A and B are shown apart, each in its own frame.
Chain A
């Protein structure tokens, strides 16, 4: 988008606002249909959406949509939240579909966390499931073993995950690239083994009876009946998760457009240059792990509270790979891409539950195709367009600056 386009658009046009809202309604309509339809139609729709995304990216339509949203960011954000909240209402009576929706929201949270390390700072962390596990087990132990409120469990999850994030982040200060990935891989495998061998938290059997979050005795995960209509137990839980996601997404966006995101990008591309520009590289690497771990931990705690059961098999290396695939498929370092990737892959996995023998095959095939067709993901990363972010353009050079020095030579 050039400055000219931008200044022209300043006279907020009504048609543009309507277009923004219409876009949001279309997007969430598709999301609803993908969740609601039976698997044949749902998966066809997923394939069409992927094709459409590839086409839009190629034709530049995606950039137009992005600039439309950035220009009307307030309206886009508020209407997106309203549309998102319409989904639990539309899915109110569908138990399984609501479950998929909650899982998608939780996975998106985890993927946003992974993106800090993998997308922004280019440190491939193979242990997101371990972080998620730490969050989930914190929730389980506080509610089942200690009998304290699940809200406290969420807090414990955040604290423990930040500690774990810092600890697992420590090797990153010494290792780079493949070696770093191997270290995190080893930690992930060690985590699963460790969980299996601690009897206090149930060992291989896991812990069951994790309490759902509640507000003043009003459980968020319970089947309520309204006007004779039996709601899915996920109804309020989904609303809560969506609001939580909105908060986390806001934080992720702010980090990625601020200097934190910029510094992480710089470290990813040239650590030495960043260091010579006054950046204490080690603290930013730890920051990426810390914030990523907190996102994963919140996702894990919400997951435990949803399924009311945690076991070592939920947080294996394979699960970590799934998160990494989601980020790669969507587009590294593009938050919208991460959102899309995580959602689509969740829908594909869940809708293929009945054919779980083939699910892995289709899943892998899709990934291979995407990596060949578009290695940078469905929605690749964008250049920060500050002019759009700030809502005002940078001033062109003043006349005095342009004048050439004449007295040299």
Chain B
């Protein structure tokens, strides 16, 4: 049984089908890449999965459970975490605070504990922070020193890493990466690619859906690629086959690129 499955998922924005009849499967431990021209519905598709948009038609299941129409926080609680195309970190909070938010749902201590048993509540937060710091240092050990710095003062690639840490620290089943290399130069893109490998190394059974425009990354990272065009899935397969597919060349790569 597939870990995450969508059947006939469509969304309509005032007459325009931004995503139409997408059937999609992903298994545990798999990495799938989504490519397609701008406006082809890749990010919209991720937004539907993470609950930000409600699908007009179609069914989404996670481990066999129907999660269609659940709200974003409920979807996160079921194990789907994501990052964003343009970073959605809180600039005025510290690095530690930002990552700690990723463990929000794991907190057991309630309001009464916080007021009346401060020690136990603080101990819990301390454990979680330690977990966050381990995760952060795993991606970039030098960030440990900057844990109390405001996120807005952190370099761009490290912000991306912090965002990945935040999504990853709660050990999700599915990780959605929306253009992790956006705004990075070539060298940083390579570093980010290494980081994505590191994710797999750290949490073996996480499956990753990654949207990316950089074909160098797409060639190496995903095991399977799904191509979107005008809201529809036009091709699916391994990289070698995809780049030879005439529909894909026409829609996305352009004749001269390959």
Contacts and interface: CB of A to CB of B under 8 A. Distances in A.
A272 B194 contact: no
B114 interface: yes
Nearest to B116: A254
A389 B130 CA distance: 14
A281 interface: yes
Contact of A260 (B82, B91, B111, B220): B111
- Max chain A C-beta neighbours (<10 A), residue from B91, B105, B118: B118
Interface stretch (A223-231, A298-306, A380-388): A380-388
Given A395-B133, A396-B144, A276 B50 contact: yes
What is the predominant secondary structure among interface residues of chain B facing chain A?
Answer: helix
Interface in A110-128: none
Interface in B137-170: 137-138, 141, 144, 147-150, 166, 170
Interface stretch (B27-35, B95-103, B207-215, B242-250): B95-103
B73 A384 contact: no
Contacts of A397: 133-134, 137-138, 141, 144
Contact of A262 (B97, B115, B121, B166): B97
A277 B144 contact: no
Contact of A266 (B71, B84, B90): B90
- Max chain B C-beta neighbours (<10 A), residue from A255, A259, A276, A384: A276
B92 A269 contact: yes
Given A276-B50, A405-B194, A396 B104 contact: no
Interface in A238-276: 250-251, 254-255, 258-260, 262-263, 265-266, 269-270, 272-276
Contacts, number: 134
A199 interface: no
A216 interface: no
A278 B122 contact: no
B46 to A, nearest CB: 11
B125 interface: yes
A390 interface: yes
Interface in B2-48: none
Contacts of B130: 394-395
Contact of A265 (B50, B90, B220): B90
A386 B93 CA distance: 13
Contacts of A265: 90, 92-93, 97
B220 A273 contact: no
Given A254-B115, A262-B101, A395-B133, A275 B73 contact: yes
B137 A272 contact: no
A408 interface: yes
A392 interface: yes
B197 A280 contact: no
B94 interface: yes
A408 B201 CA distance: 10
A404 to B, nearest CB: 8
Contacts of A269: 90-93
Contacts of A405: 194, 197-198, 201
A277 B97 CA distance: 13
Interface string A349-371: 00000000000000000000000
Nearest to A398: B134
A405 B202 CA distance: 10
A81 B138 CA distance: 44
- Max chain A C-beta neighbours (<10 A), residue from B84, B91, B126: B126
Contacts of B126: 386, 390, 392, 394
Contacts of B100: 259, 262
B72 interface: yes
Contacts of A273: 84, 88-90
Contact of B129 (A263, A383, A394): A394
4 closest Cβ pairs, A-B complex? A397-B137, A278-B105, A273-B88, A269-B90
9 contacts: A270-B88, A273-B90, A275-B72, A277-B81, A277-B102, A278-B105, A383-B94, A390-B126, A396-B137
Given A266-B90, A273-B84, A402-B137, 16 more contacts: A250-B115, A258-B121, A258-B125, A259-B100, A265-B97, A266-B93, A276-B76, A277-B101, A278-B73, A383-B148, A390-B126, A394-B129, A394-B147, A396-B137, A402-B141, A405-B201
Interface of B: 50-52, 71-73, 75-77, 81-82, 84, 88-94, 96-97, 100-102, 104-105, 107, 111, 114-115, 118, 121-122, 125-126, 129-130, 133-134, 137-138, 141, 144, 147-150, 166, 170, 194, 197-198, 201, 220
